[in-house]
Structure 1
Amino acid sequence: MSAVELQGLRISIDGRQVVDDVSFTAEPGECLAIVGESGAGKSLTARALLGLLPAGAVSRVERLSIAGTDAAQLSTAGWRRLRGRGIALVSQDALAALDPLRRIGREVAEPMEIHGLHPSDRRGRVLDLLSAASMPDPERRARSHPHELSGGLQQRALIASALAADPAVLVADEATTALDATVQARILTLLRGIADSGRAVVFISHDFAAVRRVADRVLVMRAGVVVEQGTVDEMMRAPRTEYAKQLVAASTPAPRASSPGPGATLLRAFSVSKAFDRPAVVEATFTLGAGRTLGIVGESGSGKTTLARMIVGVQRPDSGALEWASPQRVQFVHQNPLGAFDPRWSIGRSLREALLAAGVRRGERAARVAELLTEVGLDPALASRRPRELSGGQRQRAAIARALAADPQVLVLDEPVSALDPTVRQHVLDLLVRLQDERALTMVFVSHDLGVIASVCDDVLVMQHGIIVEQGLTTDVFTDPRHPFTRELLAAGA
C-alpha cells in the first residue's frame, strides 16, 4: 500500500487555478521530490497533503490517501488526528515554526502529548528523537530555547518534533534552502536516513543539487502542472523538457574562467580583527584586486558578513587596518532586499533618494531611474510599485540598481542570491558579471554557496570561526584545497 496516493488535485485561489490535476504516489521507504520555481504550486500541493491550505484556497481532489486513511473528506478534527501520527511537516523556517517561549524538549514532546503517546517516558523518548536527528548533546539542547540554537540545530529540532508521533509520511518543505553547505549536507543525509528507515518522505525544493542527494523520484512542476517526472538519475542525465533542463543546469553553475593575474591592488587588509561578545574576525590579512571579484565563503558565524561590513566601512575594526590605494565609492547590496527597502515607498522613490544622496539634480532623476532599471533588466514601469509587489528576483535587481545609483567603483554583496530560485539566481549572477564588465566594477561577494562563488569570483577567502583558513585564486583553491575545512565544504557541495 502506498504511503501517499494523490489523484486529480486542483487548487484555486480567488478564482484562479494554481494547481491543476496533480497526481502521484509515494511509497514507504521512498523519497519523492517535488521540484519547481517559486509559484510552481509545489508548496500548495504539499500543504494539501496536510490539510493546511491557506484561507481562501479551494481544493478538489479525486482521491487522497495518507497512510491508509481516506483523507479526501476529512473534517477539521479528522485532519488534527491525522497530522502528527499519519503525516508530519518540516517547514523551511525552523525558527518561525518553533515556539520562541518554549524549550526544545517541550516542543518535541508536544506531538506525543496531543496523541497520548509515551506518557511514562516522554523525556527519554525526546532525548532519543533528538539523538536520532543527530542533535549534539541532546540533554543540554532539550533545555535550550530555539534562539539559542544555530539554523542547522533548529532544523534538527523541528525534524525530531515531526517524528515524535511516529508518522508514516514526512513532508519537508524547502527544509534545507537557507542552510550552509556542510549543514545542508547533514540534514539531507538525515532525511535520506528517515526514508531508508521505512517512512515516505516528500521533499519540496527548487534546487536539483539538493534533490540529487536525497530523492529516489522527482516530479517537476511549473505553473501548477506536473510537466515531467522520473527517477533522479533520469532527470539529472537526460531531462526531457526545456524547463527541467534549465533547472538542472542552474543548480550546477559553470565555474568562471578568471585571469590569473591579480591586477592593481585596490585594498590591503592587515591583521584586521573585530569582536562582539566573542571574536568575529581574527587577524584577517588579504588584498582586493581592481576589477576583480573576491569571494568570501564560510558557514554561518564564520565572520564573513562582519568582514564585508568592515570593507564597506559600516563597522570599524578593533585592530589592524584596511588601506585603500585611493578613495573609493563603495556600495553595499543586502541579503534581504525586502527588508532593505522602505515598504511604504515605491521602488522609484527609493531610487530617487539614492540619486539625491549621490548629488544628481532633481530634473535628471526620473530619467536616471528609468536608465538604472533598464540597466538591471527591469521594466521602468516597475518604478511605481512597492517592494512587496515585486518578485524576489525583481527586488534583488532593484537593490542592485539602487547601489548603482551612486556610481560606485566597488560593490560589496552579502548573500545576494541565497533566497532565489536557481534560474532566477543565474539571471542575477549573469547580470552582475555583465555590470562588472560594463562598469569596470570591483566586487566583494559573500556567500555560503560554493557553486555561486565558483561561477562569479576570481579570488576566494575561506573563513572558519573568524579566521581566514585558506585564500587564493578560486580555481586553485577549489581544485587543490589545502585546509581540511575547505575540503569539507567542497565535499558537502559536491
Structure 2
Amino acid sequence: MSAALELEGLRIAFDGTAVVDGVSLTVAPGECVAIVGESGAGKSLTARALLGLTPGDAEVTVGTLVIDGTDAAAFGEREWRRLRGARIGLVSQDALVSLDPLRRIGAEIAEPLRLHGIVHGRAALAARVRELLTRVWMPDGERRARQYPHELSGGLRQRALIASAIAADPAVLVADEPTTALDATVQARILGLLREIADTGTAVLFISHDFAAVRRLADRVLVMRHGEVVESGPVAEVLERPQHEYTRQLIAATMHEPRVSSAVASSPVLTVVEASKSFGDVPAVVDASFSVAEGRTLGIVGESGSGKTTLARMIVGVEQPDAGALRWIGDRRVQLVHQNPLGAFDPRWTVGRSLREALEAGGVPRAQRAARVAALLAEVDLDPALAGRRPAALSGGQRQRAAIARALAADPEVLVLDEPVSALDPSVRERILRLLARLQQERGLTMILVSHDLDVVGAVADEILVMQEGRIVEQGATGVVFAAPQHPFTRELLDASGAVSP
C-alpha cells in the first residue's frame, strides 16, 4: 500500500539558521504516526510545512513531499489552496483561535464543503454538517451547529474543529497538539475520536509533547529535538526500550508513580466544614468538608467547571463561602500561585520590580529588598540577572519560577497553586515539580495543588480530593485513591489519564 503522506529531507531555516533539519516520514492510510517533542523542537513547523503554512520569512527546502499521490514539493499558494481541506486537513491546538468567532459552528464546518464544491445546496450542506457532528460525537448537534465558538466548552470546540478538518474527507489529517489544554476525560474522548478516524482509513499525523497521549493513539512515533529526529519506531518499542537519553527523559517526565506518604500524622492547618459557593443560580462548590495537614500537600483534581478553582479562591480568601466555614488553625500566611503567570504579572514592570513590591507589602525594609530579590530568584533556580527583564522576555518555565518567587516573598506558610504546570513542556514541568518538593522540605510549606492532571497530582500530593460538579466525590491518601478508587468518576479520571497505580 502506498503512503498517503511521504516527506523526505525537510529543512526550515530563518536567516540561514535551521530550525528543522532533515526530517523525513511516511504515514500510510489507516495509520497514526506521532511526532513528539518539547516547545522549540520543530514539530509544529514540520506539521505546518505539510500544508504550505510556514511563515513568509521561512526558507523551506524539501526533497520529497507527496500528499495522497500529489507531488506538492514545489507548490505555490494557489496550488496549496486547492489541496488544503480536500486532501489534507489540520486540527490546531487552540480551537477558540482557529474557529471564526463571528461564524456559527455549522457554517464553519460547511466552509470546506463549499470551497471545494463537494456539496451544493443549503439542505444538502445542513445534512452533511449534521452527519459530521454525529461522526465526532457532538452532543445535541443541531443546536451546537447554531452556536458560536465561545458558547462551547473546550472539548466541544475541538470536536467542531475536527469536524471541519474532516468535512471534505481528506486522505491526511494533521492534528497539532489537539488535546493539550483539555481535561483528562475530554482528552481521552478526542484521542479515541482521532483513533476512529485513522481506523476508517485516514492517515493521521499527531503532534504532541505528551507520551501518555501518544501511547493511547499512535502506531509509530518520531522523537524530535532541536529540529532533528533523534529516535523513531513503533510506539511500544520506543516507550519500552527507548534508545536516546532525551526520549528516556520525556517518558520519565510524563509517567510518575503515585506518591506514597509517610504514615506519621500531622495536625491540620485548615479545616473546611460544609463550605458552599454559588454564582447566581449556579452552584460552584457544594458542601465541601476536608482538612489540610501541616507540611503536606493536598491535591484537588477535577474537570473544568468542577469547582476546584473556586474552592482554591475561597482558601486564599479571594472568595467568601455563602454557607459553611473555613477555619485556619492559628495565624497563617497564605499565598496563591496563578495558572497563568504572564497574566498575573504587570507586563510593564520588570520581574525585580514585581518582587520588590511583594517584599514591600511584606514589610521588608527598602535597603534589604535588592538582596532579597536576588536571593528569591536564586532560591527558585533563576539567575538573579533576570530581575531586569519583563515577564514577556522570560520562557514559560522561567515565568512560573518567578511567580513562585513572588509568592515566597511574603514568607508564606501555605502555598496554593492553581494549575501551576499545565502549560509547560514535560521536562520543564518536571523541574518545577522538583523545585516545589525542595521548597516544601526546606521551608516546611503546606501546599494545596489544584490540577486536572492526575499524573502531576499523583506525583506530589499526599492526600487528594476529587471534585465533580462542585462536590467532593472522593478523598483520601493519594496512593490509596489511585490503587482502589471508590467513585465511578474517579475511576473514569484515572482510566482517561492513564495514571499509574502502585
Q: Aligned equivalents of 1:245 and 1:229: distance in 2?
A: 13
Q: CA deviation at 1:55?
A: 3.1
2:419 and 2:452 in contact (8 A); partners too: yes
Deviates further, 9-18 or 32-41: 9-18
CA–CA separation in structure 2 for the residues paired with 1:124 and 1:234 = 43
Show structure 2 runs of 5+ residues with no match: none
Q: Report Cα offsets for 1:138-177 as digits up to 9, x if no partner.
A: 1111111111111111100100010111111111110001
Q: More displaced, 258-267 or 326-335?
A: 258-267
Equivalent residues of 2:221, 2:235 under 8 A apart: yes
Which residue pairs with 1:31 in the alignment?
32
Tell me, yes or no, if the aligned pair for 1:219 and 1:229 is still in contact at 8 Å: yes
Rounded Cα–Cα distance in structure 2 between residues aligned with 1:366 and 1:340: 22
Superposition misfits of 4+ residues, deviation over 3 angstroms = none
Q: What is the CA–CA distance in structure 2 between the aligned matches of 1:72 and 1:346, rounded to whole Å?
A: 46
AA of the residue aligned to 1:204? I
Partner of 2:172: 169
Give the secondary structure class of the aligned counterpart of 1:258.
Answer: coil
Deviation at residue 423 of structure 1 after TM alignment = 1.1
- How big is the shift at 1:15? 2.9
CA distance in 2, matches of 1:261, 1:313: 29
Q: Return the alpha-carbon distance in structure 2 between the equivalents of residues 346 and 39 of structure 1.
A: 25
What letter matches 2:86 in structure 1? R
Contact map agreement 2:270 2:326 (CA 8 A) in 1: yes
Aligned residues: 494
TM-score, normalised via structure 1 length: 0.99
Equivalent residue, structure 2, for 1:402: 406
Give 2:336's aligned residue.
332
Structure 1 residue 143 corresponds to structure 2 residue 158: no
**Aligned partners of 2:347 and 2:12: how far apart in 1?**
30
Which amino acid counterpart does residue 445 of structure 1 have in structure 2? L
Q: Which moved more, 1:53-62 or 1:444-453?
A: 53-62
Q: Partners of 2:427 and 2:76 in 1: how far apart?
A: 39
Question: Residue in 2 aligned with 1:440?
Answer: 444
CA drift of 1:122 comes to: 0.8
* 1:196-226: CA deviation from partner (whole Å, max 9, x where unpaired): 1101101000010000000000000000011
Instruction: Give, in whole Å, the separation in 1 of the partners of 2:252 and 2:306.
Output: 29
The partner residue of 2:471 within 457, 463, 467 is 467
Q: Is the aligned partner of 1:414 residue 2:418? A: yes
User: Equivalent pairs: percent with the same residue?
Assistant: 68
**1:14, CA displacement in angstroms?**
3.1
Check conservation: 1:3, 1:169, Cα contact below 8 A.
Answer: yes
The normalised TM-score by structure 2 is 0.97
Per-residue CA deviation, residues 256-294 of structure 1 (Å, 9 max, x unaligned), is 221234411111111111111410000111111111111
Task: Give the aligned partner of residue 496 of structure 2.
Answer: 492
Whether the 8 Å CA contact 1:260–1:473 is kept in 2: the answer is: no
* Aligned partner of 2:309 among 275, 283, 305: 305
Residue from 99, 111, 129 that aligns with 2:132? 129
1:287 aligns with 2:310: no
Q: How does 1:57-206 map to 2 (within 5 A)?
A: 57-120=58-121, 121-206=124-209
Task: Decide which moves more: 151-160 or 355-364.
Answer: 355-364
Report what 1:232 is aligned to.
235
Amino acid at match of 1:137: D
| 2:453 aligned with 1:449 | yes
Q: Deviations over 1:78-107 (max 9, x none)?
A: 111110011111011111111112111111
| Conserved 8 A contact 2:258-2:482 | no
Structure 1: segments with no counterpart, 5+ residues: none
TM-fit CA distance, 1:67: 1.2
Task: Tell me the C-alpha RMSD between the 2 structures.
Answer: 0.9
Residue 16 of structure 1 deviates from its aligned partner by 1.9
Question: Which has the higher mean CA deviation after the structures are superposed, 389-398 or 457-466?
Answer: 389-398
Match of 2:397 in 1: 393
Q: Secondary structure at the match of 1:50?
A: coil
Equivalence for 1:48:
49
What code does the residue aligned with 2:184 have? Answer: A
1:336-367: per-residue Cα shift (whole Å, max 9, x none)?
11111111221111111111111111111111
Q: 1:308-348 deviations in whole A, cap 9, x for unaligned? A: 00000011111111010111111000111111111122111
**Residue 383 of structure 1: CA displacement?**
1.3
User: Which stretch has the larger CA shift, 203-212 or 115-124?
Assistant: 115-124
Pick from 210, 227, 247 the counterpart of residue 213 of structure 2: 210
Match of 1:322 in 2: 326
Asked if the contact 1:3–1:26 (Cα under 8 Å) also holds between the matched residues in 2, the reply is yes
Deviations 1:465-486 (A, max 9, x none): 0000011111111111111101
Give yes or no for contact 2:258–2:478 (8 Å, CA) kept in 1. no
Name the CA distance, whole Å, in 1 between partners of 2:402 and 2:38.
20
